[in-house]
Amino acid sequence: MASDVTAVVGRRRTGGLGHRKLLLVAAFVAVFLTFGLPRWLVGDHGPADTPTEAGFTQLCRQHGGTPHTTPGSGPTTLGQRFCTVQYGGRTYRMDAITPAGFDQDTAKFQRQGCVQEQAAPGHRGTFVYHPGTGVCEHRP
């Protein structure tokens, strides 16, 4: 009889450990799905896609523009960065060029606005969309 009691107690302990392991694995999966792998485990040691002044300048020039920066509000703060391009003697702000990269959505909305202006009754001049810059040029 003593051996029967020991066998039952042993099974209960094993079942309890299995339940704990299952809970531990479930918790690990929940944390992994929420936060992903730690950067040190993946081998990524740097910040992810941090926009820099040099990167913005390069992107602006690649699209044929001229980079500008407004003065910051303090000695250590950087002002707003933007890019301009000239068409037909007029300067246009390239809204699709942002410090985070080329914004496809903004370029799409600029194109839609250009099409709407061209189709509007009583408009003056011609509106030309430039996909490389995301600018709607107004030609008188």
pLDDT at res. 75: 54
pTM of the complete model beyond 0.75: no
Cα 31 from Cα 35, distance rounded (Å)? 6
Average pLDDT score over the chain? 78
Alpha helices in 36-89 (DSSP H): 39-42, 53-62
Instruction: Tell the residue number behind the tokens 């709607």, with chain if given.
Output: 136
Strands (E), the chain: 66-69, 81-87, 90-93, 97-98, 101-102, 126-130, 135-139
Is the model's pLDDT at 14 over the cut of 60? no
Q: Is 102 helix (H, G, I), strand (E, B) or coil?
A: strand
Residue 74 has pLDDT above 80, yes or no: no
